Amino acid sequence: MKLNEYARYDATGLASLVSAGEVTAVELARLAREAYDQINPRINAVIEFYEDAETVAGADSGLFNSVPFFRKDIGPSEAGRLQEKGSRLFKGYRPNTDSFFFRRARDAGLRTMGRTATPELASCTMTQSILNGITSNPWDVERSAGGSSGGAAAAVASGITPIAHGGDDGGSIRVPASWCGLVGLNPSRGRISGGPDQQDSSFGLSRNFVVCRTVRDMAAALDVFSGPHPGDPFIIVQPDRPYVEELSQPTGTLRVGVARTKWGAIDVEPEVLQAVESTATLLEEMGHFVSDMEVPYESEYSRIWLGLSSYSAKSLDDAALVMGRTINADSLEPINLKLYEYGRTSSSPAGNAHEALRRMRFRVGEAIQAFDILLTPTVPHLAIAHGGIYSTTHSTLSAEEFIEADGAVCQYTGVFNITGQPSVSLPLAQSTNGLPIGLQIVGRFGDEATLVRIARDLEEARPWSKRRPMVWAENSED
């Protein structure tokens, strides 16, 4: 198999080739390494390619038999492997915990071959850090790949691997998926276990899953990573059938709520709004009932994140104590240091954060209960240039100003981390200059099955598989 052939397949396709004996696990590992060597110097997506990548463990079967996989450098851990969270505070840190997430990955045949870049502490929508530098978008290297799963998204979009681990606190899977032209699902709260030590992380705001290129890979990944484990705070309703079987099921007629107005401080760019309008028309042509929806929340989102800063500060204090390090300008980036100081000195009681989360879930739930799915922009604008106010490395904003600015970028995504509903960004459009435009489809809580079916319909109606970014894995002689 040549490199451009490898890059053309999704994860399901590569696994089928291995199972049929047409390619081996070692060949796929070597092709991933070749793609990394060729591409990574231009985009800085992968910060570590394991020296033993060709021999990493993985079942010789499963839905993703021998497919190369990468771990975002924060969240679920592999015992003994570096996990530095994009931060000098955690430089050299090696957890001794094997997360359920990566146990399931190995059982499904995935071979985790390295770590992808994340902004420090996954705290912003741009992937750049003092520790690891800037991650570029394969569609335009002068622009951001998004955050905080920007390294994962850039690696998948450029052809280094067809699927990679991502995590989402407020849009951290969906934003980079939108800017890099990928499928990015944030599952329902409780769908993917955070065990054994991160169950219901960040009050349930944070979930882990993957970024990938096709809806069938998204469905297969749901089958691989879904399921409860002992110690989980609650057990979400389980699916009626495997998610890959939903790919052959009818969708039915849905009530679709469309967001045609801004939900935050940033206006929606005309090309993004045009993509929403076009997709709403397509859904109507498919036979669904489409109607406008009002903004479902006010300004609670940013206040909630500020309210949670005291918990983050305590967590950083504990980590610094264990590692024998001091929290200061030499260990944390400027904005994260401001957020830490804000949280450390906050007098807000713990109950305030819980109550703010409850109120927002209730208000949003009431506002959208009339719809089966929602259609929104994923991000109000196209991928932005590196630097600026959204970076934690050199932003001059205060903690409050930074949270407000970041919340404006995530105005359509963060709300559903709070409500716990599943939502997926699909690469359904492109700008006039060829940049991806992701649109978000939101489902009812626990109903990933409907998202799989409607995402399949949209992928068939507006296929994106043949689009190629500027930076793409190619044979050396091509």
- DSSP H or E run through 353: helix 350-368
Phi-psi region of 232 (alpha: psi -120 to 50; beta: other; left: phi over 0): beta
70 domain-assigned: yes
pLDDT for 477 equals 57
| Beta strand extents in 361-422 (DSSP E only) | 373-377
pLDDT for 58 equals 84
- Residue 17 structure tokens: 């080739």
Number of domains in the chain: 1
Please pick, among 172, 188, 206, 312, the residue that the annotation labels catalytic.
172
pLDDT for 351 equals 66
**Residue whose token pair is 């500027």:** 470
pLDDT for 289 equals 98
Please pick, among 72, 87, 193, 338, the residue that the annotation labels catalytic.
72
41 domain-assigned: yes
Residues 6+ apart with CB under 8 A from 8: none
466 domain-assigned: no
395 domain-assigned: yes
Please pick, among 148, 178, 391, 423, the residue that the annotation labels catalytic.
148
- Residue 426 structure tokens: 């699909």
135 domain-assigned: yes
- Residue 293 structure tokens: 């929806």
Q: Name the DSSP class of 257.
A: E
412 domain-assigned: yes
* CA distance linking residue 106 with residue 96, whole number of Å: 17
Query: Do residues 109 and 64 touch, judged by C-beta distance below 8 A?
Result: yes
pTM above 0.95, yes or no: yes
469 domain-assigned: no
pLDDT tens digits, residue range 374-397? 999 999 999 999 988 888 988 789
- Residue 41 structure tokens: 């110097």
Question: Residue 465, Cα to own-chain centre: how many angstroms?
Answer: 19
Q: Give yes or no: 178 in active site.
A: no
Listed as ranges, residues in the chain with pLDDT below 50 are none
pLDDT for 350 equals 62
Q: Both ends of the chain: CA-CA distance in Å? A: 15
Q: Provide the 3-class DSSP secondary structure of residue 208.
A: strand
- Residue 341 structure tokens: 């100081």
Could you list the residue range(s) of the whole structural domain that residue 222 is in? 3-461
- DSSP H or E run through 144: strand 140-144
**Residue whose token pair is 């045609």:** 260
- Its sign, for the CA torsion 230, 235, 239, 244, is negative
pLDDT tens digits, residue range 94-145? 999 999 999 999 999 999 999 999 999 999 999 999 999 999 999 999 999 9
Q: Give yes or no: 148 in active site.
A: yes
Q: Give yes or no: 314 in active site.
A: no
**Residue whose token pair is 């054994």:** 196
CATH number of the domain enclosing 346? 3.90.1300.10
Percent of the chain past pLDDT 70, that is, above it, reads: 99
468 domain-assigned: no
| Beta strand extents in 6-130 (DSSP E only) | 46-49, 68-72, 111-116, 128-129
Q: What is the biggest distance separating any 2 CA atoms in the chain, rounded to whole angstroms?
A: 63
